[in-house]
Amino acid sequence: MLLSASEGRHWRYEVCEHEDGYLVQMRDLTTGDLDEEFSTIFRTLPVAFAYAEMSAAYERYAASELEHVEDDQIEIDVEATERHFIDLSDRLHDSGINGIVVQAWERESQRSPARLLH
């Protein structure tokens, strides 16, 4: 279930429910495709929200740099969202885990148990 979304210039950062917490995933605004390489799972919802906001702010900043757009508000947004994410992440002890790592862990746990011979 989609809980919230933060939009950058070209991507939307979606916060969704996940069996292990809250998943932040990246969706292309033009095609609607998910980026399989970008996903992070957090234990707490406030940190997931803050991460999505920070990611969208970074993307807007990077796009403005590439397009040579002078906008002080974009830099202020990046700094504020980064500070907010770091503060929440530290206070709640939730730095997230890469979604690819979780997928690999799930694949490994579904394999038949290996026997250990001594």
DSSP class of residue 104 equals H
Q: How is the chain split among helix, strand and coil, in percent rounded to 5?
A: 45, 30, 25
Please, what's the largest Cα pairwise distance for the chain?
Answer: 66
CA distance 14 to 64: 22
pTM of the model: 0.83
- Do the beta carbons of residue 12 and residue 6 sit within 8 Å? yes
- Do the beta carbons of residue 77 and residue 60 sit within 8 Å? yes
> What are the tens digits of pLDDT across the range 2-19?
899 999 999 999 999 998
> What are the tens digits of pLDDT across the range 25-66?
999 999 999 997 889 999 999 999 999 999 999 999 998 888
Strand order in the sheet with 34-42: 2-7, 11-18, 21-28, 34-42, 97-98
Secondary structure class of 59 (helix, strand, coil):
helix
> What are the tens digits of pLDDT across the range 73-102?
888 999 999 999 999 999 999 999 887 777
